[in-house]
């Protein structure tokens, strides 16, 4: 969902909800019928750009806990996770400067890279990260 530009600014909103269900047999110690996929996850976010070029935005997501098989073929628990990312910035002409943060709740969690790369091993995700971006368009 988005809003068309006008003199006061423009906005974008996004939201999603995913419930995973399968006819596969749920194994003991397994909360999700599809191993590695949380039974449910949800997320939402948006961005507002003001008429003066300033903008703010953010995204929140939650995924329920699940089990995965790690690289030594043992089961490992992926705890539920809550992630919050925010950005604030200013764009004027060719210049754009913004401050941002990821995992601002500093949730300690394990990420599962199945389906996103050839690395099948779960890994500990990054702690809170805060940064600054500067850009010039040519």
Quote the tokens at residue 57: 């935005």
Closest alpha carbon to 69 in 118, 115, 114: 114
Per-residue pLDDT band at 132 (split at 50, 70, 90): very high
Model confidence, pTM = 0.73
Q: What is the pLDDT of residue 112?
A: 57
| Residue-by-residue DSSP string for 102-126 | ESTT----EE--TTTSS--S-EEPP
What's the pLDDT tens digit per position in 7-40?
A: 667 778 888 888 876 555 555 555 544 556 778 8
**Residue boundaries of the structural domains of the chain:** 9-136
Q: What is the pLDDT of residue 128?
A: 92
What's the pLDDT tens digit per position in 43-101?
A: 999 999 888 999 999 999 998 887 766 666 667 777 888 999 999 999 999 999 999 99
């Amino acid at each position: 969902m988005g809003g068309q530009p006008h003199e006061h600014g423009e906005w974008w909103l996004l939201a999603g909800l995913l419930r995973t269900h399968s006819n596969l047999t749920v194994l003991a110690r397994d909360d999700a019928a599809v191993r590695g996929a949380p039974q449910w996850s949800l997320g939402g976010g948006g961005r507002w750009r003001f008429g003066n070029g300033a903008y703010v935005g953010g995204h929140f997501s939650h995924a329920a806990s699940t089990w995965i098989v790690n690289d030594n073929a043992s089961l490992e628990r992926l705890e539920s996770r809550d992630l919050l990312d925010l950005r604030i910035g200013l764009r004027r002409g060719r210049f754009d400067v913004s401050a941002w943060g990821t995992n601002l709740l500093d949730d300690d969690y394990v990420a599962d890279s199945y389906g996103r790369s050839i690395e099948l091993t779960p890994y500990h995700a990054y702690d809170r990260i805060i940064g600054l971006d500067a850009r010039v368009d040519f």
